[in-house]
Amino acid sequence: MHEMSLCEGMLRIIEKKAQKDGFRRVLTVRVELGDYSGASEESLRFCFPVAAKGGIAEGAEMEFVYTHDRALRIIDLDVV
């Protein structure tokens, strides 16, 4: 299941952004998910909480915006 490594990568990006922007907690992660990305929404929803455990995104909700391309990227965060 490569979605676990995808989630770990997203969390590394989130952690770097938190250091730069000074937020302490992520409430929502909005992800652009393309039809041809090779990733499964169901698997991302399963893996993200496991990968986020103990970090600033623990408990964060995932929202998806669907596209007809190969996109898989964070497009927005709700943070405190």
pLDDT tens by residue, 18-35:
999 999 999 999 999 999
Q: Determine the pLDDT at residue 32.
A: 98
Distance of CA 30 to the CA centre of its chain: 7
Q: Which domain holds residue 46?
A: 3-79
Domains of the chain: total: 1
Helix%, strand%, coil% for the chain, nearest 5: 40, 30, 30
Query: What pLDDT was estimated at residue 40?
Result: 96
Which residue stretches of the chain have pLDDT < 50?
none
Q: What is the pTM of this model?
A: 0.93
The CATH number of the domain where 13 resides is what? 3.30.2320.50
